[in-house]
A = this chain, B = another copy of it.
Amino acid sequence: MHPLITLLLAATFIPAMAAAPPSSNGIPLPGNYKFWRLIGVSHRDDNTSLRAIVGNTTAMTAIHQGRTDPWPDGTILGKLVWKDSKHPLWDAAIVPGKLSHIEFMVKDSSKFARTGGWGFARWVGMELKPLDNEGGKPCFECHKAASKNDYVFTRPAALP
């Protein structure tokens, strides 16, 4: 089926959009993030969490066109983070347990020039409590390790 038709069909089913107060540095929650396409997944042993990484249309277009160094203004990358849980029917499978938080990186090279051109925002738990992240400074400190990749840790996963 042509993706355009899929998208129009998908539009016939519109779930409730996520809503929450803006982050402490004024970034609004992207209420439609559940419709964003998948960029990758990860599992972190240091804090026992599973992650899915998703992107808005600007992000997906940038990936498709190979323009991710730097990512264009307007890019939003989302990370959905759950605590590890064991699958009740498959011992060796780690699956999403309780939601830890959802977080986003918003590219605006002038507005967020002091933190590498990225605005960082996190909402904690199913109640989506905005995290007071001191304007994203501690996020940026950590993301400096990926400075050669425009401060983004995620590499898009291979998909045919």
Which A positions have Cβ atoms within 8 angstroms of B?
Answer: 1-4, 6-15, 17-18, 20, 30-32, 34-35, 37-38, 40-46, 50-52, 54, 57, 60-61, 64, 80, 82, 87, 89-90, 92-96, 98-99, 102, 123, 125-128, 145-146, 153-155, 157-160
Contacts and interface: CB of A to CB of B under 8 A. Distances in A.
13 contacts: A2-B14, A10-B37, A12-B57, A18-B159, A35-B37, A41-B52, A44-B92, A44-B93, A45-B94, A87-B153, A93-B153, A99-B157, A102-B159
B11 A10 contact: no
Q: Tell me if A's interface is mostly helix, strand, loop or mixed.
A: mixed
Contacts of A45: 92-94
Q: Give the copy number.
A: 2
A96 B10 contact: no
A73 to B, nearest CB: 16
Contacts of A127: 160
Contacts of A35: 3, 6-7, 10, 37
